Amino acid sequence: MPPILVCEFFVMAAPLISPSILSADFARLGDEVRAIDAAGADWIHVDVMDGHFVPNITIGPGVVKALRPHSAKPFDVHLMIAPIDPYLEAFAAAGADIITVHPEAGPHIHRTVQAIRTLGKKAGVALNPGTPAKTLDYLIDEIDLVLVMSVNPGFGGQSFITSQLRKIEAVRKMIDKTGNPIHLEVDGGIDVVTARQCSDAGADVLVAGTATFKGGPSCYAANIAALKGTD
């Protein structure tokens, strides 16, 4: 009897989608959060900007607290503020599940990561386009998420910076070497095309604002499915 040949195929899991509420209708944020939750969002991405660390001003912990009852999904809070440390406790208390910070936003990034974990939250580190992957060399074992920014932070609707694909690949190798369940997230210029490029490079979480919220609530489920590649 001839041997039975078994073919194994590697199937990449669909990425998690974390819609950025920066692109939502701010006049009805609670409704928008409920709508993307129902449409299949995995996380809720909250961009916090201070007009100092980045050239825009968005929201504070009070808005995060007000939105918390509208979804049980993880709140993925990206703090683009400096100094960073005085605000960690407020965002943790407001309902953030993941708190992501920039190395440039405080004098001691390792201490900041420790503080986030002491508050009982998952800690993320964000890398701007000009911030090298090697910044993570002495942090990678202490964090739960790496956020690669594929645009310069501050505004939604920017174009994807293709050089960041190499950084995503480099960070994926670093994560895999640790053997730890660290998420690799990408934020900036994510659409159906760049979503696939980022996933192929090793990302498992994608932040999408414009691509999620375009067309209004009736389109959210189809938008999210398209980003996941499951439409």
Q: Is 66 exposed, middle or buried (0-12, 13-18, 19+ CB in 10 A)?
A: middle
Q: Is 42 annotated among the ligand-binding residues?
A: no
pLDDT at 231: 72
Q: Is 45 annotated among the ligand-binding residues?
A: yes
Residues annotated as catalytic (active site), given as ranges: 47, 187
Domain 16-228 = CATH 3.20.20.70: yes
pLDDT in tens, 40-78: 999 999 999 999 999 999 999 999 999 999 999 999 999
**pTM beyond cutoff 0.85:** yes
Q: Is 163 annotated among the ligand-binding residues?
A: no
**Given the structure tokens 């943790």, which residue do they identify?**
92
pLDDT at 175: 98
Which residues make Cβ contacts (< 8 Å) with residue 53, sequence separation at least 6?
80, 81, 82, 102, 104, 105
pLDDT at 154: 81
What are the sequence ranges of the domains in the chain? Answer: 16-228
Q: Which stretches of the chain score pLDDT less than 50?
A: 1-11
